[in-house]
Structure 1
């Protein structure tokens, strides 16, 4: 799957998952047709603001919006990425679109780890919320936490062994 810029778009079909490559993460939207997508935007995030994107990590509320794909992508690149089709069965397109339309302009819970933009669009397409991006982040946080604990324990043991020598 090749990544495209807004000026050289690929041809998404209604119900497709759109992966937008932002500087620090991927943003996800669902293609509705006629150039429009539906996506969740944290309340404090502008259309494609890098600072807003970083601030979205701390947001806990988002607004569901229908926007032009080109506006969501901005100067970034994107691709159609229905990567979960191998493990999840997509709902019929008319059901996906109907589900999506029921959320327009609603405020929803937002959490980077368990209720993010990828969770939202996969819930629309498959009926279940999935996010490998969040799973990887949780794994990284767990690894850092374990590593920090191990280093703290080693430091404590090292300082106790030094204390005995004096």
Structure 2
């Protein structure tokens, strides 16, 4: 029988880290829907289809793949896809309550939003991770097509199946999360660079990807 303590500790860690990562709604806000970001906040003329976009937050970074025409595919925890198939409801901007419940239920969606909704007022870095993967960067069109094929409901784990796993699979061919490797169980004793060497191997044809695992 498995020891439930490490599993409980891992789940608690996920919740705590997520709560730090979430940007709270403005004080005194009566509705669940956050205010929309200002239009034309970002100049998308410098983005190319297949670019990997990063939005730095307090302790974590949110990632997405640019699809062109002001659209970004990104993975977000969300409880709503597990409760309804109404695309109009699901496509609304994810509120804090939906996001937190998605983490608890380990459900998410790979969704397409505008650059403004994706960034939510933050600054954007473009292809900042390319330097870590040297010659493993896939073609821009291949990266975009991979992201488009995966749009829809999926499993979620902050430590194992998150937005960084999604974008690194799309752009580099191997799902990696450097920011959660630092805190995941068992990673403390690994030498620097070990996660990259291990994860850079391409998955075998037909193999299940971490962010698609149940």
TM beyond 0.5: yes
Residues 9/52 of structure 1: CA separation in 2 closer, same or farther (3 Å cut): farther
Residues 137/60 of structure 1: CA separation in 2 closer, same or farther (3 Å cut): same
Query: Post-superposition shift, 1:84?
Result: 3.8
**Whose RCO is larger (CA < 8 A, sep 6+)?**
1
Q: What is the rounded CA distance, in whole Å, between the counterparts of 2:131 and 2:98 in structure 1?
A: 31
Query: Post-superposition shift, 1:128?
Result: 0.5
Q: CA RMSD in A?
A: 3.0
Structure 2: runs of 5 or more not aligned: 1-37, 81-91, 190-214
Q: How does 1:99-114 map to 2 (within 5 A)?
A: 99-104=146-151, 106-114=152-160
Residues 49/142 of structure 1: CA separation in 2 closer, same or farther (3 Å cut): farther
Structure 1: runs of 5 or more not aligned: 144-166
Retained in 2: the 8 A contact 1:57–1:111?
A: yes
**Which deviates more from structure 2 when the two are superposed, residues 74-83 or residues 128-137?**
74-83
TM-score for the superposition, normalised by structure 1: 0.68
Other-structure match for 2:10: none
Length, aligned pairs only: 138
Retained in 2: the 8 A contact 1:17–1:29?
A: yes
**Which deviates more from structure 2 when the two are superposed, residues 70-79 or residues 31-40?**
70-79
Q: What is the rounded CA distance, in whole Å, between the counterparts of 1:23 and 1:55 in structure 2?
A: 21
Residues 110/136 of structure 1: CA separation in 2 closer, same or farther (3 Å cut): same
Q: Deviations over 1:29-48 (max 9, x none)?
A: 11111211101121148736
Retained in 1: the 8 A contact 2:63–2:167?
A: yes
Q: What is the rounded CA distance, in whole Å, between the counterparts of 2:145 and 2:96 in structure 1?
A: 31
